[in-house]
Structure 1
Amino acid sequence: MSTESPSITGPLHDLTVIDLTQMLAGPYCTMTLADLGADVIKVEPPAGDLTRHMGPHREGDSPEALGGYFQSVNRNKRSVVLDLKTAAGRTALLRLAATADVLVENFSVGVMDRLGLSYETLSAVNPALVYGCVRGFGDPRTGGSPYADWPAFDITAQAMGGLVAITGPGPGRPLKTGPGIGDIFPAALCAVGILAAVHEARRSGRGQFVEVAMYDAVLSLCERIVYQHSYTGAVPQPQGNTHPLLCPFGLFPTKDGLLALAAPSDRHWREFCALIGRPELGHDERYATNTGRVAHADAVRDVVTRWLSSRTTADALAVLGGRVPCGPVNDAAAIFADPHVRERGMLSEVEQPGSPAPVVIAGQPIKLSRTPSAVRHRAPLLDEHRDEILSASSAAGDPRHNTSQGQVQ
């Protein structure tokens, strides 16, 4: 497992991000920037991010211990409390924004406008500011929506964006996915959009408004159903652990569990057939191409299942591993035990305040050879960095008298 590495400097070490986000989508976006080295200043209301009060918590941890939800997506950030409903809080935020490169929020449409902290207001203070946001259904600045004022959570986006409709054991039996894809995928896209806007701002000196709608992002994730419907008129349905266009491609039972196996390329299909002692099937005209295998999908899946079901997952991997794309269905315990995960730094230990025993959160999958990403330190305590953040912004001066602050030359 990787440990905190405060000496590592990421590629975004010269980027300052004001983070007004809460829950999962916005914090995941800013977490990505923080892992890549940005100085992310988490601005919280007096009661803190809503997830501070969510678990899970470890038995025996002290009251100041951080729950897993908050620790995971708020690592590498600094915290300051500002009550944006007060004039003092808004003035302090304007000072921070005046010298920042990026501000990110995930409020409902119109919240920042009503606070007097709209994109237009902040842009007047700092013309180079990149303003990023994740909305449920978009912002009027980027396009209208009949649902613009609707609240949204992960499940809403999964359902409306098409993901739920093609996930599940069979037609008419849709399921949500396990992880919060309706939050996390929009968050990842927002981070990409923000970095694109920062790149452009460093040439032009002008920031811009960057927005990702959760609905739009999930629809983009489900791009297959769009072209399927356009080309064929079909309305794709859940079909369990198989694929409508590739075969074999899915989960197959073994003697003691399940194996993920994919051999849609003709080469991999021939390799699979040779490895299981049925080389003739690799050249059978019914199965020799993916098109043929899709047309005879039941027969192909029967061949795969017959061979796998008489072997344990480990035995099957000993034969197929490294030759045919396949892998075990790992649960959390298996992931913790997998040497790949340890060697890739995908389990990161962070300090747990008030406890001598660290906790483990997921690492950063974006790897860079020269300026690596890193989980450098735990999530912040509420208002932990108030003095250092506000003293630095006060030293920068009053933004109302310096509208060029924050421009990158």
Structure 2
Amino acid sequence: SAYYLCANRGKRSLAVDLADPQGQALVRDLAARSDVVIENFKVGGLARYGLDYDSLAATSPGIVYCSITGFGQDGPYASRPGYDVLIQAMGGLMSLTGQPDGSPGAEPMKTGVAVADLFTGVYASTAILAALRHRDRTGEGQYIDMALLDVQVSMLANQASNYLVGETVPRRAGNAHPNIVPYQVFATADGHMVLAVGNDGQFRRFCDVAGLAGYADDPAFATNTARVAHRGELVPVIAERLARGATAEWVSALQAAGVPCGPINTMDAVFADPQVRHRGMQVRVPHEAGGHVDLVRCPIRMSATPPRT
């Protein structure tokens, strides 16, 4: 399946019966010749087979062993299974995603891809690399406890900081940004676009292109702090102006003026985009069953050791 290819490309696989002593011996042999073991069994699930960290480290003290679970190795939820949508809900992301209360279609919303799963993989990779650096210096391996919920909470980023510092619970704001204005989706005459004004100079240039004379000099809108405070007055004015022109026209004019903006690409438009094509993000590779398959290229660019697909 396409999903299988996404998750398993580039891997060599084998099936092992962990309940069979021969299977357990095979895994122990593989671990003894490996730098890293990664597992995502339920808490304690591998101990009964003698394949937990303590068991493997007894004969391979340099092993880096990473366990990935929904809620971590300890705490009141440790025994629960964890799934991405559940973690997005419990970790606060869904409370921040979707249209504001009272708007059409307002409800908590998950993201379009499994970001809690994916970010946990990225964080686990970072932790493993750090542990390998430590092992290379000291010869000492270590155990890594990665939890989807921990990662999701850490991903709340500025929204978590807004709450912890200001003690105000953030609410869903649709496509608007809690700390920057204008930084959201706007409807155009033929669709939608994103406007991402990141500083006051960009706002002035936006006003020049959009024909909003005087707004950049008005104390109510001249600074981002003021625009955030007066977003209810400013956003409808911008929305009315952008609705007069087509997306491509606005994007062309605003980009020429150095104002960050862009279309909202569908998947076909993503892979037809000139920058995406230039960067080679779509690659064709041979499949062992015969023929070829198109995949997404690894985004990491390295001068000496580039990844191979």
Please give the residue correspondences for 1:138-153 in structure 2 after superposition, counting only pairs within 5 Å: 138-139=72-73, 144-153=74-83
Matched, 1:213 2:147: yes
In 2, are the aligned partners of 1:270 and 1:279 still within 8 Å (CA)?
A: no
- Shift, 1:348, TM fit: 2.2
Deviations 1:200-251 (CA, angstroms, capped at 9, x unpaired): 1001111101121100101110122322222222111111111121100111
Q: Give the secondary-structure state (helix, strand or coil) at the position aligned to 1:77.
A: coil
SS of equivalent to 2:162: helix
SS at 2:236's partner residue? helix
Distance in 1 (CA, whole Å) between partners of 2:294 and 2:254 is 32
**2:84 aligned with 1:154, yes or no?**
yes
Deviations 1:47-84 (A, max 9, x none): xxxxxxxxxxxxxxxxxxxx111111211111122211
1: CA distance, partners of 2:33 / 2:170: 49
Q: Quick one: distance in 2 between partners of 1:129 and 1:274?
A: 60
Shift, 1:185, TM fit:
0.7
- What residue is the counterpart of 1:70 in the other structure? 4
In structure 2, C-alpha distance between the alignment counterparts of 1:70 and 1:125, rounded to whole Å: 34
How much does 1:118 deviate?
0.7
Match of 2:55 in 1: 121
SS at match of 1:211: strand
User: What's 1:183 paired with?
Assistant: 117
What is the CA-CA distance between 1:360 and the residue it aligns to?
1.9
Three-state SS of the structure 2 residue aligned to 1:103 is strand
Query: Is 1:88 matched with 2:22?
Result: yes
| Equivalent residues of 1:157, 1:215 under 8 A apart | yes
Number of the residue aligned with 1:253: 187
Superposition map of 1:386-405 within 5 A: none
- The residue aligned with 1:345 is 280
**RMSD over aligned Cα, in angstroms?**
1.4
Report the Cα offset of residue 281 of structure 1.
1.3
Deviation, structure 1 residue 355: 4.2
Mapped to 2, the partners of 1:204 and 1:373 lie a distance apart of 28
Gaps of 5+ in 2: none
1:300 aligns with 2:234: yes
Match of 1:241 in 2: 175
Amino acid at match of 1:334: A
Correspondence for 1:132: 66
- Alignment equivalent of 1:199, drawn from 133, 136, 139: 133
**Aligned equivalents of 1:354, 1:367: Cα separation in 2:** 29
- Residues in 1 aligned to 2:27 and 2:192: alpha-carbon distance in whole angstroms: 52
1:295-337 deviation per Cα after TM superposition (whole angstroms, max 9, x unaligned): 1102221232122111111111110125111111111111121
Question: What residue is the counterpart of 1:17 in the other structure?
Answer: none
How far 1:353 moved relative to its partner? Answer: 4.0
Deviations 1:263-305 (A, max 9, x none): 1311111111112233421111110001110111022212321
Cα offset, 1:352, TM superposition: 3.5
Q: Structure with the greater relative contact order (CA < 8 A, sep ≥ 6): 1 or 2? A: 1
C-alpha deviations, 1:369-402, integer Å up to 9, x for none? 2211231xxxxxxxxxxxxxxxxxxxxxxxxxxx
Report sequence identity in percent.
Answer: 38
CA distance in 2: counterparts of 1:364 and 1:73, whole angstroms: 12
In the alignment, which of 260, 264, 282 is matched to residue 325 of structure 1?
A: 260
Contact 1:94-1:125 at 8 Å conserved across structures: no
State the match for 1:270 in structure 2: 204
Give the counterpart letter for 1:247 in structure 2.
V
Superposed displacement of residue 345, structure 1: 2.4
TM-score, structure 2 as length reference: 0.94
The one-letter code matched in structure 2 to 1:152 is G
1:361 counterpart (272, 295, 299): 295
**Structure 1 unaligned runs (5+)?**
1-66, 376-409
Task: Give the secondary-structure state (helix, strand or coil) at the position aligned to 2:46.
Answer: helix
Q: Which string of whole-angstrom CA distances, capped at 9 and with x for unpartnered residues, describes residues 88-116 of structure 1? A: 11111111111111111111111111221
Q: Tell me the distance in 1 between the aligned counterparts of 2:75 and 2:157.
A: 20
**Paired residues of 1:266 and 1:290 also in contact (CA < 8 A):** yes
SS at match of 1:235: coil
